[in-house]
Structure 1
Amino acid sequence: MLAEAVDPVGVLVRLFTLGDPVPAVAAGAALPTLGVDRAVGLGLLQRCGSGQVRACVDLQPHAVVDDLGESSWWVCSDLGELAHGGGVLPTEHVLGVGTASTTLVEAVVPPVAGQRCLDVGAGSGVQSLHLSRTGPRLVATDVSGRASAFARVTAALNGVALDVRTGSLFDAVPGERFDRVVANLPFVVTPRRADVPTYTYRDAGLAGDDVVHRMLVSAPAHLRSGGLAQFLGNWEDRADEPWTDRVGGWVEEAAAALAEATDGADVLDVWVVQRELADPALYAEAWISDGGRPGREEAESWYRAWLDDFADRGVEAVGFGIVTLRRRPADPATPPLRRLDDERAVIPGAWRDVLAAGLTGHDSLGRVGALTDLDALLDTRPVLAAGVVERRELDPGQPDPRTVHLVDTRRRGRVVEASTALAGLVGACDGELSVGQVVAALATLLEDDEAALRARLLPAVRDLVAEGLLVLPGQG
């Protein structure tokens, strides 16, 4: 049985997952490099009599295998709910690797070696570990001194150079700018009522979704030109203000502030992807249970507080998603990117690839003037991106397909339904012929009006470039 396990894996599970005391000898065998004495000295373990030790903190392995290669680390955080023996977690609890952590990891476009990166709301330091893979210079902040301490321990355990500072949002880095800003914010919408616990790891102490608003508006000032900020957030979808209007208003506020601060020299690109939209009642239930197991009366009181809070503001749903901001020099040919996408129906892979391809596609369309004049695409010679395939569905015995889809197999399986003409155009995109030449040939082949066909195809070509399925010459 696990409760009696003495093999290294079983001992580590008993220590750090179940919170059980184990023989010091067994702990030493499970931690041969660190050793019991050093683990006790670091505060990871404590002696508890009868030759046994108990975990003071959670120490979990964390690994990733992706296009950057293989990496593995140890993450130090507070003991989890199971090790606590049930009940409600302390409000200063510091999480280890959670679902939100891995969601953000999948979205962050990797920095380049030597770039300066900031991890806001670092918690136990998970995002900083992933950022460290490409060799940037790292700064991490958190409003919680306890979380800052855990981030320092996590970095030290893994040999990562990390400048950890304590402060809310950007308070600890006044006037500083970075090439990358990532933030796993304490974004949970929580009722501001004294009897509802405010967990530091998930609650910023602000009303509604104001922490996301503040992050979006304040982040551009801390980006270098060309820099990216990426963070997770919740936002309210209200009866009198849909989420696109609400978040869109914040976007324009942030863009206006940046334009004023730089006298129009820099602009802000914004891409918001809504991944989930939760019913208020289900949202409340999820976050009440997230903090442990409160008593029935306590849970019912918190539940009523959540629903009353939502009702006061007319909240019909709560959105969750990824916000990507980019600060760059203004260019008349490349208007600022504004995308607020609802992608709940899509099962994503690595969102970082999707976002990076979209930003690159936007730039390349601007470079050839196609963002302001679709006809500029006629002289381009796009090529089909690697990994994009065509799938056809035919009725048995029929020569013509019922449907044609272009599928990007590299990332999240992006599927675009294509007309016969668009499929023909994409099939000819090998860099030899211009779009104008292909459209002319298709018009003759399909016995279609060339001007009408051009009007139908050019918007589709622009969208395929913007999504990264077609690549323009010079586009990465």
Structure 2
Amino acid sequence: MSDFSFVPDAPRSRDIRLLQALAADLEDAGYTVDGVAAFLGEDASAALQRDQLVPALLVCRAEAEAAAPRRVAVPVQLWLLGETMERSHLDEALPRTGTDGLLELGLIERGPVFGTFQAAVDLRPYGTDDGGTGSEKNPAGDLWVASDLGSHQRPGVLRRDHVLGIGQASLSLAQLTVRTPVGRALDLGTGCGIQTFHLLRHTDHVTATDISARALGFARFNLMLNAPQLDIDPEQPQERFTLRLGSLLEPVAGEEFDLVVSNPPFVITPRTGTDAEAERFTYRDGGLAGDGIVAALAAGLEGVLRPGGTAQMLGNWEIPAGREEDWSERLEQWLPDGTDAWVIQRETLTPPEYAEMWLRDAAQGRERTEYAEAYAGYLADFASRNVGSVGFGSMWLRRRPTPAARPLRRFEEITHPVEQPLGPHLEAAVRRFDWVSSRTHLADEHLRVADDVTEERHQRPGAEHPGVILLRQGAGLRRTNLMSTELTGFVSACDGELSVGQIVSALAALLDRPDSGFGENLISEVRNLVLDGFLIPDRW
């Protein structure tokens, strides 16, 4: 089985000492997250985040005129801006590695003019914000991530086996993932390895899979380049990670994991019936019609999870025309009986909006006729399945700890901004569900209002009582709950002193509601406030 240290058209990671030299050079040059930000300044850094290169290019050109140019300008020009560089500049900025070392690692290639060199990949600093060992020059323990160059750095349609770098989707998944320490984790569809970086912070061993050998070559390079920060022994990397080539769950059939994370190639791409493997973008198209990739994973992940094991993934799903209010119906049908699920839909797009986004993503809009044909193909494909819109979001799945446990099945649409990272709040929400589920009734429990919750009242001028009372969360999913008079009274009394039953009884007497239905309905609403995090157990 290949260790993916030498894959054609991917960075090479066999020479450990050369990788260590490169890391030292990058660190000494100040090619870190903070170092690059300080060099470029706020405006140019912000523009670069939008793939606008000109402001950063102007900063670099001004730096070249300085009496003693800063070394960081060279890797910025080379890898972030796609500029052609001379050997002398590379050798001076990265003296341990040098031009020859960069060629050996597959990070540069010869330029169009004799004696010049250009980037073969995108190599940029990355901060995980979740711990790690650093040094005096790099106290945060910044990492470096290699991926393929984007169309803004190297004009033209992306190559079909393009290896995607740090994007909004990968960052979102990293922020969503619950970081409880576990033994074994699976990074399904690892790409350049971003999720594995994060998993290694709280996992003993990570198995990373991908359908692309080039992607695994990039992932291994990134892991080995950042070995010290990720607690990887370069001589025995298999103790911390394993790379496997294959589609979906095939490479790990028969194995079980504590945690699975995945940003799968879920993009819905028209199937013509004559698709060749070389015609699709492997980083985003898993090769199945419609939302088949997400459906297959939702149905199959239970088979690679230990009892109580969890999975977190991104995805999109088709919503039949006219059924937007019932968008979760198809998703519920995908799930096995023993799988808990919490699905959050963050956005929906119409078929034309969806086509435009992904054609733009791969820079396929440069040739008018081909663009029109591809656009029409998307619309015809969606129409063939009566798709009215496409939902985007995240799925949290769990193999139920015991078959008799109360199932968690929650599907909700949250389109407003939420707090990041969201992982700790998802973990707390699941703990509350398990806490509520383990109790046949809440009457003997003591609750208190969560620290981030505030109350908001609205009333017409001169009115004696408010017409609308809202509870708002300042953290997590930042929910808003419309309150009834009795529920408002209950929450006002939740300071941990009185039990749920005592508060309900007091309210029943105060409001002259002796019927049993009053208490049952109120406790049901209280249960929902606990599940949503407005109220929490006093001893939590």
Correspondence for 1:289: 360
Task: Check if 1:336 corresponds to 2:404.
Answer: no
User: How much has 1:130 moved relative to structure 2?
Assistant: 1.5
Matches within 5 A, 1:279-428: 279-292=350-363, 293-330=365-402, 332=404, 334-345=405-416, 347=418, 349-369=420-440, 376-395=441-460, 400-428=465-493
Q: Whole-Å Cα distance in 2 between the matches of residues 211 and 348 of structure 1? A: 28
**Can you list the C-alpha shifts for 1:167-192, whole angstroms capped at 9, x where unaligned?**
11121112111111011000000011
1:42 equivalent in structure 2: 105
Q: What is the Cα-based RMSD across aligned positions, in Å?
A: 2.6
- 1 CA distance for matches of 2:298 and 2:447? 35
- Amino acid in structure 1 at the alignment position of 2:153: A
Q: Is the counterpart of residue 100 in structure 1 residue 179 in structure 2?
A: no
- Cα deviation for residue 84 of structure 1 reads 1.5
Q: After superposition, what is the alpha-carbon deviation per residue over 1:293-346, rounded to whole angstroms, capped at 9, x for unaligned?
A: 4300000000111111111111111111111110132264x4211112122345
Using the size of structure 1 for normalisation, the TM-score is 0.88
Match of 1:169 in 2: 248
Query: In the comparison of the two structures, how many residue pairs are matched?
Result: 453
Shift of 1:33: 6.6
Matched letter for residue 330 of structure 1: T
Q: Does 2:497 correspond to 1:432?
A: yes
Q: 1:55 aligns with which of 119, 130, 149?
A: 119
Q: 2:297 aligns with which of 215, 221, 225?
A: 215
- Would the alpha carbon gap of residues 316 and 73 (structure 1) be closer, same or farther in structure 2, given more than 3 Å must change? same
TM-score in terms of structure 2 length: 0.78
Q: Does 1:72 align with 2:142?
A: yes
Mapped contact 1:111–1:131 kept (Cα < 8 A): no
Matched with 1:373 is: none
Q: Distance in 1 between matches of 2:508 and 2:98?
A: 75
- For residues 514 and 461 of structure 2, the distance between their equivalents in structure 1, rounded to whole angstroms, comes to 31
Aligned to 1:89: 158
Distance change >3 Å, CA 74–CA 397, structure 1 → 2: farther
Displacement, 1:284?
0.6
Q: Percent identity?
A: 40
Equivalent residue letter for 1:40: L
Paired with 1:214 and 1:181, the residues of 2 have a C-alpha distance of 14
Instruction: Name the SS for the 1:214 alignment partner.
Output: helix
Q: Distance in 1 between matches of 2:401 and 2:358?
A: 41
> Could you tell me whether the CA contact under 8 Å between 2:130 and 2:201 is conserved in 1?
no
Contact 2:339 2:397 (C-alpha < 8 Å) held by counterparts? yes
The aligned residue for residue 263 of structure 1 is none
Once the two structures are superposed, what CA deviation does each residue of 1:149-168 show, in whole Å capped at 9, x if it has no partner?
Answer: 00101111111343111111
TM superposition shift of 1:225: 1.2
Q: Is this contact kept in 1: 2:341–2:395, CA < 8 A?
A: yes
Secondary structure in structure 2 of the residue aligned to 1:466 = helix
SS of the residue 2:498 aligns to: coil
- 1:385–1:36 distance in 2 versus 1, CA, 3 Å: farther
Matched, 1:15 2:75: no
Measured against aligned partners, the alpha-carbon deviations of 1:277-306 in whole angstroms (never above 9, x if no partner) come to 110011011111111143000000001111
Aligned to 2:204: 136
Structure 2, unaligned runs of 5 or more: 1-57, 65-69, 134-139, 231-239
Once the two structures are TM-superposed, the CA of residue 233 in structure 1 deviates from its matched residue by 1.0
8 Å CA contact retained: 2:131, 2:201:
no
Contact kept? 1:392, 1:401, Cα under 8 Å: yes
SS, match of residue 433 in structure 1: strand
Q: Which residue of 2 aligns with 1:154?
A: 222
Q: Aligned in 2, Cα 1:119/1:41: closer, same or farther, shift over 3 Å?
A: same
For 2:161, the aligned partner's letter is: E
Cα separation, 2, equivalents of 1:68 and 1:343: 32
Q: Which residue of 2 aligns with 1:203?
A: 285
Deviation at 1:3, TM superposition (A): 6.4
User: What amino acid does structure 1 have at the position aligned with 2:120?
Assistant: C
- Measured against aligned partners, the alpha-carbon deviations of 1:2-60 in whole angstroms (never above 9, x if no partner) come to 56354444433321133211233433455467554433321112354655332111111
Q: How big is the shift at 1:198?
A: 1.1
Gaps of 5+ in 1: 256-266, 370-375
Contact map agreement 2:269 2:289 (CA 8 A) in 1 = yes
